[in-house]
Structure 1
Amino acid sequence: MILSTTNQLDNRPVQQYLGVVTAETIIGANVIKDIFAGLRDFFGGRSGTYERVLQEAKDTALQELMSKGHLLGANAIIGVDLDFETIGSNGSMLMVIASGTAVKI
Structure 2
Amino acid sequence: MADVRSVHTHLQHYAQHMAQLEELRKLLHDQLATADSCPATDPALQRVARGRIAAIWAALERMERGLYGICQCCGGFMAFDQLLRAPDRTACDGCAHARRHEAAA
- Using the size of structure 1 for normalisation, the TM-score is 0.31
Higher strand share: 1
- Structure showing greater relative contact order (alpha-carbon pairs closer than 8 Å, 6 or more residues apart): 1
Higher helix share: 2
